[in-house]
C-alpha cells in the first residue's frame, strides 16, 4: 500500500524511488570479478570528489590545499550531514519527509528557548526537544501510515506548521544565550575539527552498521523497495514505515540541537534552508558506494563532495547564487544517474 | 531470510560502449561545469561586487595610513558613540485635516521584528489620532506583495505606505495607485529624501549610506587604516544594501585615501544558515590579511562569529555590523567576541517618524525630506552607558521623541 489515492506526487515519488531503489544485497561469485563499470558506479563520486579537489588545488594553490581549508570543509557542515543521514532513513522506506529541515529548525528554537530563555536545566531541555521530535515523527507516521495520506503532502504540511510555530515561539527573533555546555559539546575542537563533525561521523557508522549488519536495516530497505512483497514475506511494513518516519524526525531534532550548539543561538528562519542541501546530499549519496540505494557512506561522501565544491567556488570568489546552482545541479544529476543505473541494472538482469 | 528477488544484480559483459560513455559523461558533467566556472572566475565577480574573491583580494585592502585621516576618523567615531539629539522636523501638522482618512501599510513581512514594530507603532499612533490604519502582510513573497498592492489600490485608501518594498519591483503599482488618486509613501528603501522617478511622494528610511559611513569610519579609526576589511552584503535587500556598501566605501576612501577598492561578497538571506559559516572561513583561509569583516546586518554575525572562533582568529579579526539587534548586542558585543561595533537605530522612533510623514501627506502639508531618525554606533567603549536588558529604544539617549512628535501633532506631551 502506497498510501492514499494515486496522484502526480505519488507518481513522482515512485519514479524517484524506482530510480533509487534497485540495488545489490548479496554478492554472487561473478560480482567479485573486477568490473570497471561497476567500480566507476560505486566510486565515481569519490573519484569526482578527488578530481575537484585536484582542480581546485591547481586553481587556488595557496588557499585550497591547506589544513585550514580542509578543516573548513569537514568542520562547517556537520549539521547538514546529520540531517541528510536522518533523511536517508525515511527515503530508504520510500517515504519523503519534507518536514525534516523544519523539524530541525523547530528543535533549534525549542532547545534554545527552553534552556536560554526559560532557564530549564540543559538535560531537561534536551529531553523535551527530543520528545517533541518524537511527537512530530509520530504524527507524520500516523497520518502517512494509518491515514494513508501521501508522505509528500503530510510532511509538506507539518513542515510548514513547524516553521510557523518556530517563528511564533521565538517571536520571530533570534534567541541567544544557548548554555555553554551545549556549545562546548558541539563546538569544542579535536584534531582541528569541531566535535559536531565526529557526531555526524558516528551516526554514519551507526547507520552503515544498521543497514548492512542488522536485520532491521535490511527490513527497512526491503520495505522501501518492494512494499507488497515485503508484506507477503511477513515483514511488518506499516510499523517499519512508521518507525522510519519517527527516526527521521528524531535525527532531525538531534541536528537541530547540534545547530544550536554550533551557532550558540537559534535563528527561526535557519532550518528550512537546509531542505535542498539535505535532499541533494541523500540523492547524490545514492549514486555512490551502493549505487541505486540510499546509504550512509554515500551520503557522507555526497555532503562533503557538495561542500568541497562550494568551498572551492567560494575561494575563487563565487558566493550567493553559486550554492543554489551547485546543489540544484547536483540533485538533478544524482537522480538522473541513479535512474540510469537502475535502468542499466534492470536491462542487465533481463538478459 | 530474504526473498529471492532481493539479490545482487551485476553488470554483464553486454554493457555497451555507449553505456560506458554515457556513464562517464554523467559523472564528468559536474567536473566540466566546475571547470567552466573556474575558468571564468578571473573575469567574473560575485555579482554585486566591485571586485570579488581571490583575484580581487590581492589588490584590495586599506593600506597606507594617513595620520590626519585616522585622527579625523577617531574624532568622528567618538561623536557617533554619543547619544543622538533631536534633529527631526520643526513644522507642525494640522492633524484635524488627516482625521477620518485611511492609510494602508504594506509590510514586506511581519515576521521580521523590526518591520513588525515599525508598522505596529505607526498603526497605533495613527489610530490614536483618528486615522484608520490597515496593515497588509506581504509575507516576504512577490505574490504577497502584488496581492497586497492590488487589494489596497482597489480599496482606495488616501495613502499607501510601501514598507521595505523594492521600488523597481512595484513601480507599475505605484503608477496605478497615483492614477487612482492614492498617494504613495515608500519606506526603508535606503536613502532619505523625496523620491525621484518612482512616483512616490515621500520616503522615510534609516539613512543607510550613513550607516555605511559609520562602519567605514569605525574601520578607519580602529585599524588606523592599516587593516584589511571584507564587506559581506546580502542583495536580498537590494536597495538598502547597495546604499550601505556605498557608504562604507565612501568613508574608507575619505579617511584612508590610499586604500584600494574593498572586496565585497554576497550571501543571500535564505543562505545565511547554510552558507555564511563556509564563506567566512573560506574568505579568511584565502586571504590571511583580512582582519575586519563588515557584514551589513548583524543577524549574519551569529553564523560568522562561530566560524571565526573555530579558526582561532577571535583576537585577530574584528567584526562591525548594523541593526544593534538586542540578542546580538547581549550575546556578542557585551561578551568576548569578534563583534566589536554595531550601528543601531531606534525602532519606536522610526515608527513615530513614519507616522509623522503619513500625517503630513494626509493633511496635504509639505512632506519632510528627511525625518532624521538617529543612528548610534555601539562599541565596547560606550556599551557601559546603556542598559542592555532595557527596551532598545532607551539605548539612544534621553531625547523624548514621542513628546517631540506629539508637540508637532498638536497633542499634549505626556
Task: Name chain B contacts of A291, Cβ cutoff 8 Å.
Answer: none
Question: How would residue A351 be classed by pLDDT, with cut points 50, 70 and 90?
Answer: low
- pLDDT tens digit string along B373-403? 999 999 999 999 999 999 888 999 889 999 9
How far, rounded to the nearest angstrom, does the alpha carbon of residue B231 sit from its chain's CA centroid? 13
Question: Is A29 inside a domain boundary?
Answer: no
Question: Is A35 inside a domain boundary?
Answer: no
Asked whether the CA dihedral A164, A168, A170, A172 is positive or negative, the reply is positive
SS3 B372: coil
Question: Is A198 inside a domain boundary?
Answer: yes
- pLDDT tens digit string along A287-301? 888 877 889 999 999
Distance (Å) from the alpha carbon of A204 to chain B's nearest alpha carbon: 20
pLDDT tens, residue order, chain B (414 aa): 323 232 332 333 333 333 333 333 343 333 333 333 333 333 223 333 323 333 333 334 544 456 788 999 999 999 999 999 999 999 999 999 999 999 999 998 877 778 888 999 999 999 999 999 999 988 877 888 999 999 999 999 999 999 989 888 888 999 999 999 999 999 988 888 878 777 899 999 999 999 999 999 999 999 999 889 999 988 767 788 999 999 999 999 999 988 877 889 888 877 888 889 989 999 998 888 999 999 999 889 999 999 999 888 999 999 999 999 888 898 888 888 999 999 999 999 999 999 999 999 999 999 999 999 999 999 999 999 999 999 888 999 889 999 999 999 999 886
pLDDT over 50 (residue A12): no
Question: Is A197 inside a domain boundary?
Answer: yes
Segment A23-48 mean pLDDT = 64
Question: How would residue A18 be classed by pLDDT, with cut points 50, 70 and 90?
Answer: very low
Compute φ and ψ for A119, nearest 5 degrees: 60, 35
* Packing angle of the helix pair A67-75, B272-286 (nearest 10 deg): 170
B288 → chain A, closest CA residue: A63
C-alpha cell at A16: 524517484
Note the pLDDT of residue A78.
92
Note the pLDDT of residue B102.
96
Interface mutation vs chain A, best among B6, B24, B118, B347, most A CBs within 10 Å:
B6
Are the C-beta atoms of A230 and A219 separated by less than 8 Å?
yes
Distance (Å) from the alpha carbon of A337 to chain B's nearest alpha carbon: 7
Question: How would residue A349 be classed by pLDDT, with cut points 50, 70 and 90?
Answer: low
- pLDDT tens digit string along A197-240? 999 999 999 999 999 899 888 888 888 888 888 888 888 888 99
Rounded Cα–Cα distance for residues A246 and A137 (Å): 4
A272 → chain B, closest CA residue: B270
Task: Name chain A contacts of B22, Cβ cutoff 8 Å.
Answer: 340
- pLDDT tens digit string along A170-183? 887 888 889 999 99
Rounded Cα–Cα distance for residues B307 and A262 (Å): 9
Nearest beta carbon to residue A218 from set B2, B31, B327:
B2
A41 → chain B, closest CA residue: B23
Q: Which residues lie closer than 8 Å to B11 by C-beta, 6 or more apart?
A: A35, A37, A38, A41, A344, A345, A348
Question: Is A8 inside a domain boundary?
Answer: no
Instruction: Say yes or no for a CB contact (<8 Å) between A37 and B15.
Output: yes
Note the pLDDT of residue B414.
67
Instruction: Say yes or no for a CB contact (<8 Å) between A194 and B11.
Output: no
What ranges make up the beta strands (E) of chain A? 189-190, 193-194
Interface mutation vs chain A, best among B8, B10, B117, most A CBs within 10 Å:
B10
Task: Name chain A contacts of B328, Cβ cutoff 8 Å.
Answer: 174, 176
Q: Which domain holds residue A259?
A: 45-350
- SS3 annotation, B103-148: EEEEECCCCCHHHHHHHHHHHHHHHHCCCEEEEEECCCCHHHHHHH
What residues does each domain of chain B span? 40-83+208-344
| CATH number attached to the domain at B40-83+208-344 | 3.40.50.2300
Supply the CATH number for residue A221's domain.
1.10.3470
Rounded Cα–Cα distance for residues A255 and A249 (Å): 10
- pLDDT tens digit string along A240-264? 999 999 999 999 999 999 999 998 8
Note the pLDDT of residue B334.
85
Strands A193-194 and A189-190: antiparallel
- pLDDT tens digit string along B55-99? 333 334 544 456 788 999 999 999 999 999 999 999 999 999 999
pLDDT over 90 (residue A99): yes
Question: Is A30 inside a domain boundary?
Answer: no
Note the pLDDT of residue B202.
94
**What's the domain count of chain A?**
1
B28 → chain A, closest CA residue: A48
Question: Is A238 inside a domain boundary?
Answer: yes
C-alpha cell at A7: 496522484
pLDDT over 60 (residue A185): yes
**Vertex B45, ends B40 and B46: CA angle to 5°?**
120
Question: Is A195 inside a domain boundary?
Answer: yes
Are the C-beta atoms of B214 and B377 separated by less than 8 Å?
yes
Can you tell me the ipTM of this complex?
0.73
Instruction: Say yes or no for a CB contact (<8 Å) between B283 and A55.
Output: no
SS3 B368: coil
Instruction: Say yes or no for a CB contact (<8 Å) between A318 and B20.
Output: no
Amino acid at each position: 500500500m502506497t498510501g492514499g489515492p494515486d496522484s502526480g506526487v505519488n507518481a513522482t515519488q515512485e519514479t524517484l524511488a524506482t530510480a533509487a531503489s534497485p540495488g545489490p544485497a548479496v554478492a554472487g561469485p561473478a560480482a567479485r570479478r573486477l568490473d570497471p563499470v561497476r567500480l566507476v558506479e560505486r566510486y565515481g563520486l569519490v573519484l569526482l570528489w578527488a578530481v575537484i579537489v585536484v582542480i581546485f588545488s591547481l586553481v587556488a594553490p595557496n588557499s585550497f590545499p591547506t589544513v585550514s581549508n580542509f578543516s573548513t570543509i569537514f568542520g562547517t557542515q556537520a549539521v547538514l550531514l546529520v540531517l541528510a543521514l536522518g533523511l536517508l532513513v525515511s527515503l530508504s522506506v520510500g517515504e519523503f519527509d519534507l518536514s525534516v529541515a523544519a523539524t530541525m529548525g523547530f528543535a533549534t528554537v525549542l532547545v534554545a528557548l527552553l534552556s536560554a530563555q526559560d532557564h530549564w536545566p540543559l538535560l531537561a531541555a534536551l529531553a523535551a526537544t527530543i520528545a517533541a521530535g518524537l511527537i512530530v515523527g509520530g504524527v507524520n507516521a500516523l497520518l502517512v501510515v494509518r491515514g494513508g495520506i501521501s508522505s509528500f503532502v503530510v510532511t509538506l504540511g507539518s513542515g510548514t506548521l513547524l516553521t510557523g510555530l518556530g517563528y511564533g515561539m521565538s517571536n520571530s527573533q533570534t534567541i541567544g544565550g544557548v548554555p555553554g555546555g551545549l556549545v562546548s559539546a558541539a563546538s569544542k575542537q579535536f584534531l582541528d575539527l569541531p566535535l559536531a563533525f565526529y557526531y555526524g561521523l558516528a551516526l554514519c557508522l551507526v547507520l552503515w552498521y544498521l543497514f548492512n549488519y542488522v536485520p532491521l536495516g535490511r527490513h527497512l530497505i526491503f520495505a522501501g523497495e518492494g512494499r507488497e512483497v515485503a508484506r507477503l514475506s511477513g515483514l511488518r511494513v506499516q510499523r517499519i514505515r512508521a518507525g522510519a518516519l519517527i527516526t527521521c524526525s528524531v535525527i532531525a531534532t538531534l541536528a537541530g540541537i547540534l545547530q544550536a550548539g554550533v551557532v550558540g543561538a537559534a535563528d527561526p528562519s535557519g532550518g528550512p534552508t537546509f531542505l535542498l542541501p539535505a535532499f541533494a546530499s541523500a540523492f547524490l549519496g545514492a549514486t555512490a558506494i551502493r549505487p541505486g540505494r540510499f546509504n550512509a557512506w554515500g551520503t557522507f561522501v555526497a555532503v562533503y563532495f557538495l561542500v568541497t565544491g562550494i568551498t572551492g567556488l567560494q575561494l575563487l570568489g563565487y558566493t550567493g547564487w553559486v550554492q543554489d546552482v551547485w546543489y540544484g545541479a547536483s540533485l538533478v544529476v544524482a537522480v538522473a544517474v541513479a535512474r540510469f543505473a537502475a535502468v542499466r541494472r534492470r536491462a542487465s538482469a533481463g538478459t | 531470510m530474504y526473498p529471492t528477488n532481493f539479490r545482487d544484480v551485476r553488470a554483464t559483459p553486454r554493457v555497451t560502449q555507449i553505456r560506458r560513455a554515457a556513464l562517464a559523461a554523467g559523472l564528468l558533467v559536474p567536473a566540466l561545469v566546475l571547470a567552466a566556472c573556474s575558468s571564468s572566475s578571473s573575469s567574473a565577480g560575485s555579482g554585486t561586487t566591485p571586485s570579488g574573491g581571490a583575484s580581487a583580494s590581492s589588490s584590495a585592502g586599506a593600506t597606507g595610513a594617513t595620520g590626519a585621516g585616522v585622527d579625523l576618523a577617531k574624532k568622528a567615531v567618538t561623536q557617533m558613540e554619543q547619544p543622538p539629539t533631536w534633529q527631526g522636523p520643526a513644522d507642525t501638522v494640522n492633524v484635524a485635516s488627516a482625521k477620518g482618512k485611511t492609510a494602508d501599510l504594506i509590510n514586506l513581512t511581519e515576521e521580521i521584528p523590526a518591520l513588525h514594530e515599525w508598522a505596529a507603532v505607526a498603526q497605533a499612533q495613527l489610530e490614536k489620532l483618528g486615522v484608520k490604519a490597515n496593515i497588509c502582510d506581504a509575507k516576504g513573497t512577490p505574490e504577497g506583495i502584488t496581492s497586497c498592492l492590488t487589494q489596497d489600490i482597489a480599496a482606495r485608501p488616501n495613502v499607501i505606505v510601501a514598507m521595505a518594498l523594492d521600488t523597481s519591483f512595484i513601480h507599475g503599482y505605484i503608477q496605478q495607485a497615483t492614477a487612482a488618486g492614492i498617494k504613495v509613501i515608500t519606506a526603508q528603501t535606503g536613502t532619505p529624501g523625496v523620491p525621484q522617478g518612482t512616483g512616490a511622494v515621500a520616503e522615510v528610511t534609516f539613512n543607510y549610506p550613513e550607516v555605511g559611513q559609520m562602519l567605514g569610519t569605525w574601520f578607519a579609526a580602529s585599524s588606523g587604516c592599516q587593516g584589511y576589511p571584507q564587506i559581506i552584503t546580502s542583495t536580498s535587500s537590494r536597495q538598502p544594501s547597495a546604499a550601505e556598501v556605498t557608504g562604507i566605501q565612501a568613508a574608507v576612501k575619505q579617511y584612508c585615501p590610499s586604500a584600494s577598492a574593498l572586496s565585497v561578497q554576497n550571501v543571500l538571506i535564505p543562505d545565511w544558515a547554510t552558507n555564511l559559516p563556509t564563506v567566512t572561513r573560506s574568505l579568511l583561509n584565502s586571504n590571511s590579511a583580512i582582519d575586519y569583516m563588515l557584514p551589513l546586518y548583524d543577524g549574519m554575525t551569529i553564523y560568522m562569529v562561530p566560524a571565526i572562533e573555530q579558526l582561532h582568529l577571535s583576537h585577530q579579526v574584528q567584526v562591525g555590523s548594523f541593526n544593534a539587534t538586542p540578542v546580538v548586542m547581549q550575546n556578542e558585543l557585551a561578551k568576548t567576541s569578534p563583534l566589536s561595533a554595531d550601528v543601531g537605530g531606534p525602532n519606536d522612533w522610526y515608527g513615530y517618524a513614519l507616522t509623522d510623514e503619513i500625517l503630513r501627506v494626509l493633511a496635504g502639508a509639505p512632506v519632510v525630506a528627511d525625518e532624521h531618525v538617529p543612528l548610534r554606533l555601539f562599541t565596547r567603549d560606550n556599551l557601559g552607558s546603556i542598559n542592555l536588558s532595557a527596551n532598545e529604544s532607551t539605548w539612544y539617549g534621553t531625547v523624548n521623541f514621542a513628546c517631540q512628535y506629539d508637540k508637532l501633532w498638536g497633542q499634549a506631551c505626556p
